[in-house]
Amino acid sequence: MAFLEYSPTKTLYQFSSVDGFRGIITSKELWCTDLSAANDPRELELGTTLFLEAMKFVRENEYKGAIGNFLDDIQKRVTDYRRNQQTFCACFSLVKDDLPMWREYGSNYAGIAIGFRPTAITAMPGRIQKVRYLNPDTQEEFRQLVRDMASKFDPQRNLSDALYWLDAAVGAFTAITSLKHQSWTYEKEIRFVFAQSRKDHGSRLPTAEFSDHSPVYWAKPLNRSRLNTLVDYMAFPFGRRKSGASDCSKAIERVVLGPRCALTEEEVRYLLEFNGYQNFEIDKSDCQIR
């Protein structure tokens, strides 16, 4: 399958301003922003369009007539799932030090790149996805996704099997949320994705769980102002989980100071150690900019 959940093994970098760096290491939380408010206006739309096109192709060419009615049901459930779920995302990169990243996300070259150990992020309550960028094979990959769904359908068993329909909806949604246009390829993005219902339905069941199986229940999103618009976000602690708590002491593997960063290595080391971080390295960017 092309859209499986990703298990990172390399350092995950998040580029930020100096103020953002201070906020992250002090709060020991990461902000996950509503994905529909991302800086890519095609976020979610591109993947949805390709999924629907793939569904139509397979339905009309490989499952014609009544035998393919269940595909119509899958399409409706995926559409409803996307409409009813609010998706939040924290973005990381496999890029450690690159001028486009410093320009776009590192406070115009004056910021800091925080390198998280993978275990600090995989412990959080959501999915880790490696972003796939639109390419000549993407359309066929979505068609294969639909074929895989169809191959697992058993009309004698699945018509009333809620788990099958949920797995189909979540699988399609994973593909949709992990696709971006090829113009963003330079980011080499890895993303943490958390989704919950847009409305509180009063369910006592958890919406997700941390790596230690601590439950996460529906919560009203926070919001912040960006470009004169309120944007929803969720905040989650990072770091290894044990007994219901996150230990961030070794969550940060490396910090990279941007080409124009005003903080010195000594100042950054003091801030990290003061906030309880251990076993980290501090590098200065190799990039240069006037």
b (16+ CB within 10 A) / e for 102-133: bbebbbebbbbbbbbbbebbbbbbbbbbbbbb
Q: Are 115 and 254 in contact (CB under 8 A)?
A: yes
Give pLDDT tens digits for 135-182. 999 999 999 999 998 888 776 665 566 777 778 888 888 899 999 999
Give the CA diameter of the chain.
Answer: 69
pLDDT of residue 74: 86
Check: CB of residue 235 under 8 Å from CB of residue 31.
yes
Domain ranges of the chain: 12-284
Encoded amino acid at 255, one letter: V
91, 114 in Cβ contact below 8 A?
no
Query: Do 92 and 33 contact (CB within 8 A), yes or no?
Result: no
pLDDT of res. 157: 64
Give residue 73's pLDDT.
86
| Eight-class DSSP state of 14 | E
pTM of the prediction? 0.92
Residue type, 54: A
Q: How many residues does the chain have?
A: 290
CB 287 within 8 A of CB 97: yes
CA dihedral (90, 38, 55, 58) positive or negative? negative
Q: What end-to-end distance do the CA atoms of the chain give, in Å?
A: 45
Q: What is the mean pLDDT of the chain?
A: 92
Which two structure tokens, joined as six digits, stand for 195? Answer: 């989704």
Q: State phi, psi for 52 to the nearest 5 degrees.
A: -65, -40
The C-alpha atoms of residue 147 and residue 139 are separated, in whole angstroms, by 13
The pLDDT value given to residue 1: 45
Map residue 11 onto helix, strand or coil.
Answer: coil
Which residue positions in the chain have pLDDT lower than 50?
Answer: 1
Residue 277 near residue 288, CB atoms below 8 Å: no
Residue 145, pLDDT score: 93
CA angle 20, 32, 149 (to 5 degrees): 150
| Gap between the Cα atoms of 68 and 54, Å rounded | 14
Interval 96-122: pLDDT, tens: 999 999 999 999 999 999 999 999 999
> What is the token pair recorded at 255?
């910090």
Of 95, 50, 108, 146, the C-alpha closest to 254 is 95
